[in-house]
Amino acid sequence: MPLAVSKRNYELFPEPLSKDTLYFHSHWRRENPTNGWAPESIQTNSLETQVPNLDGKNNYVILETEGAGQYIGCNHSVAHFQGTWWGEGDDMIFIDDDTWPPSMHGTGGEDYFTQGWGMQKNADPFCGTVIHEEDVPNHQVSYRWHLADPVHFSKKIRVTMESGHANHLRDDWSTTAYWYQTLPGPKLSIQPVEERIPRKPDFPAGKHPEPPNTESLDPQRKAMIQQHQDRMEAFVQDRNIWLERRAKDSQERSKKNIEHAKDIRPRFLEGDKRAKV
């Protein structure tokens, strides 16, 4: 039928729906930046990021709701600020009465989106890439649908993911979660306008967030940051020694090359003269 603006399809049922009927929901969230604890100099997969996360309390939250239902997936967008890579953060899904460990505990965002290792340029029915980090540097948009592997909950659910190793990264994350659940639905709110405004297209990856407040960190994370600084100082010192040695070796080889050329050239010219005679 012809339309001017929009249309709405609906279906009437002869009897009221039962209380266990599930209704579709969706919710958008954003953290800019995520609650990362590490300075930019600490790279993903480096020794100092190997900190245990045994509660998931500081994870990025994709979905948190109460009731009974089925989580069916999400879109996930990230703008990465801290060099190297945005991935490796574990997905943790706490279902019903979970404390620790969660019912579902993955091994990294790239694995949750079934792409590992790294992120692949593909778009499959249940998972894939919308924007790939090679096409738009430091940006990745992915999706995952739990249709073949449904995630059911009877009381509540909390779907989370680490931003980097044990939440060491401070990046710009946003997600839209999709799920079905019984009514009454959750009282979800939309974030203030200033938290929803897209970043200006300033590359790579826009303005960097403010560095983390390392004074408020626990002793283990402080020790990791200090260890990183100590390792970097030792690396720079060793590299300077190596560069000095290479420079000295290069000077000696250059000197010997000149001496060798001075020895060879007269003999070459003498041989050339004999050949012409």
**Residue 206 confidence (pLDDT):** 54
- Read off the pLDDT of residues 176-232 as tens digits, 9 standing for 90 and up: 999 999 998 888 889 999 999 987 765 554 566 778 888 888 888 888 888 888 888
Angle, alpha carbons 161-166-170 (nearest 5°): 80
**Mean pLDDT across the chain:** 89
- Read off the pLDDT of residues 67-98 as tens digits, 9 standing for 90 and up: 999 999 999 999 998 878 999 999 999 999 99
CATH topology (fold) of 23-210 = Jelly Rolls (2.60.120)
User: What backbone torsions phi and psi does residue 255 show, to the nearest 5 degrees?
Assistant: -65, -45
* Sign of the torsion formed by the C-alpha atoms of 221, 224, 228 and 230: positive
Residue 125 has pLDDT above 60, yes or no: yes
* Domain spans, the chain: 23-210, 218-277
**Residue 132 confidence (pLDDT):** 94
**Residue 83 confidence (pLDDT):** 77
**Residue 212 confidence (pLDDT):** 83
- Read off the pLDDT of residues 227-277 as tens digits, 9 standing for 90 and up: 888 888 888 888 888 888 888 888 888 888 888 888 888 887 877 666 666
**Residue 32 confidence (pLDDT):** 93
Q: If DSSP codes are grouped into helix, strand and coil, which group holds residue 260?
A: helix
**Residue 272 confidence (pLDDT):** 63
pLDDT band for position 57 (cuts 50, 70, 90): very high
pLDDT band for position 4 (cuts 50, 70, 90): low
Residue 168 has pLDDT above 60, yes or no: yes
Tokens of 64: 């948190």
* pTM for the full predicted model: 0.75
**Residue 97 confidence (pLDDT):** 96
**Residue 144 confidence (pLDDT):** 97
**Which candidate, 58, 62, 64, places its Cα nearest to that of 160?**
62
Mean pLDDT of 12-27: 92
Residue 108 has pLDDT above 80, yes or no: yes
List Cβ neighbours of 47 (8 Å cut-off, separation of 6 or more): 227, 228, 231
| CA 30 – CA 176 distance, rounded (Å) | 9
**Residue 63 confidence (pLDDT):** 97
**Residue 201 confidence (pLDDT):** 61
* 124-to-52, 108, 145 alpha-carbon distances in Å: 33, 19, 10
